[in-house]
A and B are shown apart, each in its own frame.
Chain A
Amino acid sequence: QSALTQPPSASGSPGQSVTISCTGTSSDVGGYNYVSWYQQHPGKAPKVMIYGVSKRPSGVPDRFSGSKSGNTASLTVSGLQAEDEGDYYCSSYAGSNNVVFGGGTKLTVL
């Protein structure tokens, strides 16, 4: 499976909103509602921010939201805060008992 496509970088000022895209195919993102988003800070394990396309685990601020249209999933971070800076990865079930990740997006809070 090919990795899902994410922009290498994204940025925004505190208080602004930023959206990160995750583009796959009808065999992964477009075919299943099993898309997750992860936040990773340097030297740390990833933390799930969104699962099932748009669901938030307990404890994740409602500033984080997810959506999907066709073969593209999106993560929106509203009201950007300094602690939101980090790397963000999407993942999707890809059929045949496989999971594929995106290449990652470095989010910078200006």
Chain B
Amino acid sequence: EAGVAQSPRYKIIEKRQSVAFWCNPISGHATLYWYQQILGQGPKLLIQFQNNGVVDDSQLPKDRFSAERLKGVDSTLKIQPAKLEDSAVYLCASSLEGTGANVLTFGAGSRLTVL
């Protein structure tokens, strides 16, 4: 079984530029999560999708972050414009369904450095 695929693995941009991350979950997983993990901290949920609908985006800074999962499969997370404090690893995870009672499978993450 293929894992959760993420790209790019690394990205360096200057502040005020934009960046996009892509995630392809495990086939058949209805629930997809995007997390932000700042160095030394635990992951923070940014957004949770159930198929192509948003379940929870309460911690997504909507003035600069956006995410979509149009066909209920892969997803993109965009930051525009980026700030220095957005430097972090952006993790994508998926599970069969979103009650929290299924195993989470994580991608390798996308490390963003904002200069």
A-B interaction: no
A residues engaging B (CB < 8 A)? none
